[in-house]
Amino acid sequence: MKRRIARECALKVLFMIDVGENNPEEALHNMTRDVISLQAQGFCSTLVRGVVSRKEELSVKLSPYLINWRLERLAPVVRNVLLMALFEILYMEDIPAAVTINEAVELTRLYQDEESSRFVNAVLDGLRLSDAMLD
């Protein structure tokens, strides 16, 4: 449950950075202080810093799977859920991809809608099953 809370926190921070053009470190500090446990703060920080530092690479890997969409045209929640989940799949080997995909779908359902959650599931599942994850 702590990771779910940390993922939700990371999504909010990434949203603040993306939409509000907030400074990543300030947004992270403001969102995590006194709100979540230290363990959750660490996981949240890892996700946020990982996505921010590798955003271009993650965007390139996602683009071929966004059939008839461009990443920048997606709803900010969907865009950031996809980036965060892809980072987790590629760089956090201790977390099974199926768990990450399920969490991404649930976050999307919580902050967006059912149709968006199906889209996120399809994109991430397509990525997981492709050879692109091995590059």
Residue 68, sorted as left (phi over 0), alpha (psi -120 to 50) or beta, turns out to be left
Which pLDDT tens digit goes with each residue over 85-109? 999 999 999 999 999 999 999 999 9
Q: Which domain holds residue 46?
A: 2-134
Number of domains in the chain: 1
In this structure, what CATH number is given to the domain that contains residue 104? 1.10.940.10
Which pLDDT tens digit goes with each residue over 52-90? 999 999 999 999 999 889 999 999 999 999 999 999 999
Residue 30 Cα distances to 5, 16, 22, 101, 125, angstroms: 15, 11, 11, 27, 33
